[in-house]
Amino acid sequence: MSQTIAATTPATELADEAIVERVRGGDHALYEILVRRHNQRLYRTIRAILRDDRDVEDVMQLAYIDAYTHLDQFRGTAKFATWLTRIAVNRAIRNGQGERRQLATVSRDADPSLTIEHTAAPGLDPEHAMYGHELKAVLESLVDDLPDPFRVVFVMREVEGLTTAETAASLSINEDTVKTRLHRAKRLLRDQLDRRLGPAAADIYPFHLSRCDRVVAGVMAGIRVPGS
């Protein structure tokens, strides 16, 4: 009965493990669904390890290729996402230690499905978009400054939203270590934020002239005296 349901369910709605089984059964094109589904998690995890964007996409692609090549070793004792993340972590660590490889068969220019796109939130005016971008840059800088073990755990738990158990399994550490590193990461971020902002905190949420003009015009139109 479950096999019949799986056969009639659209592939995009299948669980990771069901897609893996179909890929291993010869439906290799379905691997694209897994890539698209986990791009964000792998990007953020690898980015946290490498600390910059230069090699992230290359490492992502290599991690996906590693996973695909070794799909026969996926036993299902952990979630596929956890197994895949562990592969990405190991690949990123090796890359960070100086390994560089050319991608002979995979090009991100030729395969847009492997490209991470960052778009502004809809509905933001240019003024808000600018400050949102600046705040994002400050936050990324603060996270980048965290020591490696704390940064990776913080990104996986607080940015990507993995559970303590998933993070521990992905990094091959115990859950108490995850909790300790997350606590220290948050404390360091608070300390860094205090030091970096200082007197500059008084300059946040500036009231620009363009906004002032709009408010004044609206107020004056609202209180206009008849006959004036």
Q: Give the tens place of pLDDT for each residue, 174-193.
A: 999 999 999 999 999 988 88
Rounded average pLDDT over 91-95: 88
3 state DSSP class of 2: helix
**11 or 153: which leads in pLDDT:** 153
Q: Is the distance from CB of 124 to CB of 132 less than 8 angstroms?
A: yes
Q: What is the pLDDT of residue 204?
A: 57
Look up tokens 């550490």; give the residue: 173
According to CATH, the topology of domain 126-206 is Arc Repressor Mutant, subunit A (1.10.10)
3 state DSSP class of 1: coil
How many other CB atoms sit within 10 Å of the CB of residue 193? Answer: 14
Please report the DSSP string for 171-205 in residue order.
HT--HHHHHHHHHHHHHHHHHHHHHHHGGGGGGSS
Domain locations along the chain: 2-114, 126-206
Is it the case that residue 217 has pLDDT exceeding 50? yes
Is it the case that residue 92 has pLDDT exceeding 50? yes
Q: Is the distance from CB of 152 to CB of 59 less than 8 angstroms?
A: no
Same fold, 2-114 and 126-206: no
Q: What distance lies between CA 202 and its chain's CA centroid?
A: 31
Q: Is the distance from CB of 49 to CB of 92 less than 8 angstroms?
A: yes
Q: What is the pLDDT of residue 207?
A: 63
Domain 2-114 has CATH 3.30.1780.10: no
